[in-house]
Structure 1
Amino acid sequence: MVRSEDQNRLARERSRESILLAAIDAFAERGVAGASIAEITARAGVSQGLVNYHFGGKAQLIGAVIDRWFATMLNLAEPGDTPDATLAAIIDGALSATVYAMPLQRAVLGMQQQPATHRLFAESEERHADATTAGEDAVRALFRARGAADPALEEIMLRSTLEGVFMKYAVYGDTYPLEDARRWVHRLYGLPEPTSPLAPDAPPRAADPRPRAGGALREPSET
């Protein structure tokens, strides 16, 4: 049976998305240098030639992964009814991404820091410059509405705090008290205590939390 143009378009979109998701997982697990096109396409269940067809090569695929990260980070929270509600949504949206978008976050964290891929990150940042600036300005306006003396610095420090929480969680995994960190950030900004956890199925907090990287040494069945 001959497929319609719409069916062909959907098939192309699915194969492109499969490659992109496989690349995110491979880059998160093995790093950009350690993840080959052969491994990525095997994970995606497609032929290697489709990477060139959809992206143009490995560098462009890396750029597409970074673009996905920017798109995710720039659409985390809906505005609330008040500045406080909006700020709480921003905090919770960013920390939810730490839980639910960990492979993407981990992959791009490495790309930000490695000299071989930092330029690709900078190029993606340029592609999203207008949206990034608009997001920064919105948060700065939020702090201005809350009476901050230096809204620009408040925005930078909020971002630095949330990125720091993510980096620690990426290293220490479930031994890092993410929910407690979230509530600490809420208190830092004088926001109401959250009424529900970020991740309902997260393990309970240890009585004496001590983040350790040793979780990575456990077998998958033990996590």
Structure 2
Amino acid sequence: MARSDDRHRVARERARESILQAAIEVFSERGVPGASIAEITHRAGVAQGLVNYHFGGKSQLVAAVIDRWFETLFGIPTVDGTADERLAGIIDGALTATGFALPVQRAVFAMQQQPDTHRLFAESETRFLAQTIASEDIVRQVFRDRGAADPPLEEIMLRTTLEGIFMKYAVYGDTYPLEDARRWVRRLYGLPEPEAPLPLQLAPRNPDARTRASGAVRPVD
């Protein structure tokens, strides 16, 4: 009986994760208004009723996608060492995460801008408030250790810079020079050049780089 219960639990967890991943893909391709539960469950290979079973409805599924985005952000490992080494680790970790999690980045950035889903984003942010504050404090301590006059402002401006890169990469895809942006941010803070590229499959940099939205277009079924 216990083994059968374990199999059912694993099957439920797999179905839930399949729905969540399909929702991330469909939301990133079509936006929340243009995405249907039918399309999401078809892509996930599950019955439509499982969305209500696991999430409760479309709004709750949207909230789960936003939660996954926060979980991804807070899952970025920290680096030990000097203040400069820790700052370089924060920059590299954040940019690596955006490369690995591009569909959820695209989906959530759109949700942040729309009135209907911005409320859900704010609610998710509240659920992760303690982790958000802890993450901010880690970065502020780095700037404090570097002798910054205003560590809170430095943290806000670093986050603004990185989020700008996230958004541009989400919009321009392969035409956005993510590796060069990483090196530019490091130089901005007087950090050494990285010894190795980001662990991502990035398109080769065009010396005459020009960002175009076509670089992020993917085939839609």
Common fold: TM-score over 0.5? yes
- The answer for the alignment partner of 1:194 in structure 2 is 194
- The answer for the alignment partner of 1:69 in structure 2 is 69
Instruction: Give CA deviations for 1:91-127 in whole Å, capped at 9, x if unaligned.
Output: 1111112211100100000000111100000000000
Alignment pair present for 1:51 and 2:51: yes
Q: What pairs with 1:1-223 in structure 2 (closer than 5 Å)?
A: 4-199=4-199, 201-216=201-216
Q: State TM-score, norm by structure 1.
A: 0.94
State whether residues 140 and 152 of structure 2, in contact with CA within 8 Å, keep that contact through their aligned partners in structure 1. Answer: yes
Output the CA distance in 1 between the equivalents of 2:33 and 2:24.
13
Output the CA distance in 1 between the equivalents of 2:96 and 2:35.
26
Instruction: Give CA deviations for 1:5-30 in whole Å, capped at 9, x if unaligned.
Output: 11111111100000000000000000
Where does structure 1 lack aligned partners over 5 or more consecutive residues? none
Where does structure 2 lack aligned partners over 5 or more consecutive residues? none
Output the CA distance in 1 between the equivalents of 2:196 and 2:50.
43
Output the CA distance in 1 between the equivalents of 2:218 and 2:147.
47
The amino acid of 1:60's aligned partner reads: Q
Name the stretch that deviates more: 13-22 or 195-204.
195-204
State whether residues 175 and 209 of structure 1, in contact with CA within 8 Å, keep that contact through their aligned partners in structure 2. Answer: yes
> Hey, which bits of structure 1, 4+ residues long, moved more than 3 A?
216-220
Q: State TM-score, norm by structure 2.
A: 0.94
SS in 1 for 2:211: coil
What is the CA-CA distance between 1:215 and the residue it aligns to?
A: 2.9
State whether residues 99 and 199 of structure 1, in contact with CA within 8 Å, keep that contact through their aligned partners in structure 2. Answer: no
What is the CA-CA distance between 1:218 and the residue it aligns to?
A: 8.1
Output the CA distance in 1 between the equivalents of 2:44 and 2:6.
22
State whether residues 186 and 192 of structure 1, in contact with CA within 8 Å, keep that contact through their aligned partners in structure 2. Answer: yes
SS in 2 for 1:131: helix
SS in 1 for 2:46: coil
State the aligned residue count.
220
| 1:89–1:125 distance in 2 versus 1, CA, 3 Å | same
| 1:180–1:116 distance in 2 versus 1, CA, 3 Å | same
| 1:115–1:87 distance in 2 versus 1, CA, 3 Å | same
What is the CA-CA distance between 1:200 and the residue it aligns to?
A: 5.1
Output the CA distance in 2 between the equivalents of 1:51 and 1:219.
25
The amino acid of 2:11's aligned partner reads: A
What is the CA-CA distance between 1:89 and the residue it aligns to?
A: 1.2
| 1:2–1:217 distance in 2 versus 1, CA, 3 Å | closer
When the two chains are superposed, the root-mean-square deviation of aligned CA atoms in Å is 1.8
Output the CA distance in 2 between the equivalents of 1:90 and 1:128.
19
State whether residues 99 and 200 of structure 2, in contact with CA within 8 Å, keep that contact through their aligned partners in structure 1. Answer: no
What is the CA-CA distance between 1:138 and the residue it aligns to?
A: 1.0
